[in-house]
Amino acid sequence: AIEAGYDRAFTTIVDSQLTTAIAGLVLWQYGSGPIRGFAITLLIGIATSIFTAVFATRVFFDFQANRRGFDRVSI
């Protein structure tokens, strides 16, 4: 169940972050001064968010599930 949840959530997370990243790239390309700075900050935040949402939480949750010996998780 955990694997299925992460597999289904992965595409949604990447899709939403990719859409925002495209907007950030447009702002960076056509903006100037503070707008470019905002775009760079936005893109760094998106990269950090993807890493955290996809990889870090998965590692942490798998560690917790294995440590406690969950074979089945009831909903």
Domain holding 35, by residue range, is 2-68
Comparing 23 with 4, the larger pLDDT belongs to 23
Q: Each residue of 16-35: pLDDT tens digit?
A: 899 999 999 999 999 999 99
Q: Each residue of 30-58: pLDDT tens digit?
A: 999 999 999 999 999 999 998 888 888 88
Q: Which two tokens stand for residue 51?
A: 């890493």
Comparing 11 with 22, the larger pLDDT belongs to 22
Task: Note whether residue 35 is domain-resident.
Answer: yes
Among residues 50, 57, 48, 39, the alpha carbon closest in space to that of 16 is found at: 50
Share of the chain above pLDDT 70, in %: 87
Q: Which two tokens stand for residue 1?
A: 């169940």
Among residues 4, 11, 1, the alpha carbon closest in space to that of 54 is found at: 11
DSSP label of 51: I
Task: Note whether residue 22 is domain-resident.
Answer: yes
Task: Note whether residue 74 is domain-resident.
Answer: no
Q: Provide the domain count of the chain.
A: 1
